[in-house]
């Protein structure tokens, strides 16, 4: 296992007792969250309305839930339907998150952020990173986009939105149901009920929720060449690398294909260096596509990227496009 472990407190998703100081801080956090929402509702803090539809994809809980694969899928569907989408993102993990920039497929990760670069590569649409998503959205509109998709930003109330999509981890859900830092929630659980769509990644979707599955069937050599079926690694040991919000999801996906996983979990948005891959054994290295974005400079013939595709019921796409049409 990697030296960098998942720092998620055991009590977030388990039965361990929540420390008293975490409960105290959660109460203070709840007060701040409630006050902030009231100020926006009363207009004391202003939100900006844009002349084009805005779709926000985010979550109530912290950590990886599958927002970026869904963002890519939404953008692709919008293009197929004749829209000209652009993606606004804060670009977490950039060396200077206070700056604004256009992100291309070949933008250095330190400048563009791993998720925006991945979106630019997979979706092929304009991507703008900015601490202010409102400012990023205005730049996208000026560039010719007629719909703005925000990767994350459910709590960024300065930008008024037409459609909210909450993404939920189907296994972990809301954990212990407590607010940070006593639990994994950024806002109270009932916040999710306010969203137009609730998408559940894996697990069982309840009434009013939409099921999403992340499908992976190939491994792409990072030094170039033809991809190979992911299932071809079945029965063999590999080093599995994941620096995402929920690394276990990636490891479990590989294990479901009978792949012998030697797991290496890194912090979300980790900035990799070559030394991170000194595992002491020469096995194939499978990593998430998001991690691969940052490892191209020192990848060798043993390194593979594993892309995933978000799959949702056709009825979801019909409902989403209908919602945009009723704006």
pLDDT, position 116: 92
Judge whether 109 and 119 are in contact, CB under 8 Å: no
- CB atoms inside a 10 Å sphere around CB 193: 11
Q: How far is residue 172's CA from residue 183's CA, in Å, rounded to a whole number?
A: 12
pLDDT, position 4: 47
Domain span at residue 70? 45-213+311-325
Residues 112 and 191 reside in one and the same domain: yes
Residue 21 lies in a domain: no
**Closest to 93 measured CA to CA, from 107, 73, 80:** 107
Q: Between 269 and 213, whose confidence is greater?
A: 213
pLDDT > 90? residue 32: yes
Residues 191 and 263 reside in one and the same domain: no
The mean predicted confidence, pLDDT, of the chain is 90
Scanning the structure block, which residue is given the tokens 């803090």?
45
**Dihedral angle sign, alpha carbons of residues 258, 263, 266, 267:** positive
* 45 CB-near residues (< 8 Å, 6+ apart): 36, 39, 157, 158
Residues 239 and 159 reside in one and the same domain: no
Residues 72 and 174 reside in one and the same domain: yes
pLDDT, position 3: 45
Residue 136 lies in a domain: yes
Residues 131 and 183 reside in one and the same domain: yes
Residue 111 lies in a domain: yes
Residue 132 lies in a domain: yes
For residue 167, give the CATH number of its domain. 3.40.50.300
Residue 200 lies in a domain: yes
Q: Between 5 and 242, whose confidence is greater?
A: 242
The DSSP annotation for 216-227 comes to --EEEETTSS--
Q: What is the DSSP letter of 276?
A: G
What value does the mean pLDDT take over residues 118-130? 93
pLDDT > 50? residue 78: yes
Q: Between 23 and 5, whose confidence is greater?
A: 23
**Closest to 9 measured CA to CA, from 147, 172, 184:** 184
Residues 194 and 49 reside in one and the same domain: yes
Residue 96 lies in a domain: yes
**Dihedral angle sign, alpha carbons of residues 93, 75, 245, 31:** positive
Residue 279 lies in a domain: yes
Q: How far is residue 217's CA from residue 205's CA, in Å, rounded to a whole number?
A: 23
What value does the mean pLDDT take over residues 125-132? 93
pLDDT, position 10: 86
Residues 131 and 253 reside in one and the same domain: no
**Model-wide pTM > 0.85:** yes
Judge whether 222 and 295 are in contact, CB under 8 Å: yes
Residues 179 and 201 reside in one and the same domain: yes
pLDDT > 80? residue 6: no
**Dihedral angle sign, alpha carbons of residues 276, 279, 280, 282:** negative
What value does the mean pLDDT take over residues 200-218? 89
Residues 190 and 129 reside in one and the same domain: yes
Token pair, residue 96, equals 């200077």
Q: Report residue 200 CA to chain centroid gap.
A: 13
- How many structural domains comprise the chain? 2
pLDDT > 50? residue 1: no
Residues 193 and 227 reside in one and the same domain: no
What's the pLDDT band for 137 if we cut at 50, 70, 90?
Answer: very high
Residues 107 and 199 reside in one and the same domain: yes
Q: How far is residue 107's CA from residue 104's CA, in Å, rounded to a whole number?
A: 5
Residue 12 lies in a domain: no
Residues 169 and 296 reside in one and the same domain: no
Judge whether 131 and 23 are in contact, CB under 8 Å: no
What value does the mean pLDDT take over residues 318-326? 88
pLDDT, position 326: 54
pLDDT > 80? residue 64: no
pLDDT, position 195: 94
Token pair, residue 184, equals 């994994």
Q: How far is residue 212's CA from residue 216's CA, in Å, rounded to a whole number?
A: 13
pLDDT > 50? residue 28: yes
């Amino acid at each position: 296992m990697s030296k960098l472990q998942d720092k998620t407190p055991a009590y977030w998703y388990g039965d361990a007792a929540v420390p008293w100081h975490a409960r105290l801080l959660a109460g203070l956090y709840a007060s701040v969250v409630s006050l902030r929402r009231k100020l926006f509702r009363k207009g004391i803090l202003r939100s900006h309305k844009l002349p084009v539809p805005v779709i926000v994809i985010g979550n109530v809980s912290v950590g990886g839930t599958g927002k970026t694969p869904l963002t890519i899928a939404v953008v692709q569907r919008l293009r197929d339907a004749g829209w000209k989408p652009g993606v606004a993102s804060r670009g977490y993990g950039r060396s200077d998150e206070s700056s604004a920039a256009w992100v291309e497929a070949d933008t250095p990760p330190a400048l563009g952020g791993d998720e925006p670069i991945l979106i630019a590569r997979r979706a092929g649409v304009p991507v703008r990173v900015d601490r202010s998503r409102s400012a990023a959205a205005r730049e996208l509109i000026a560039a010719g986009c007629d719909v703005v998709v925000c990767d994350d930003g459910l709590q960024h109330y300065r930008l008024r939105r037409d459609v909210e999509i909450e993404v939920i981890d189907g296994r972990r859900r809301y954990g212990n149901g407590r607010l940070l830092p006593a639990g994994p929630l950024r806002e109270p659980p009932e916040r999710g009920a306010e969203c137009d769509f609730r998408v559940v990644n894996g697990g069982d979707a309840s009434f009013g929720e939409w099921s999403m599955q992340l499908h992976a069937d190939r491994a792409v050599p990072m030094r170039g060449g033809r991809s190979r079926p992911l299932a071809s690694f079945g029965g063999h040991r590999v080093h599995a690398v994941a620096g995402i919000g929920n690394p276990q999801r990636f490891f479990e996906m590989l294990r479901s294909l009978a792949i012998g996983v030697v797991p290496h979990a890194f912090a979300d948005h980790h900035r990799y260096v070559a030394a991170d891959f000194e595992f002491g054994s020469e096995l194939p290295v499978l990593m998430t596509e998001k991690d691969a974005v940052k490892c191209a400079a020192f990848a060798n013939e043993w390194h593979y990227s594993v892309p995933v595709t978000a799959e949702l019921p056709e009825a979801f796409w019909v409902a989403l496009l209908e919602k945009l049409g009723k704006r």
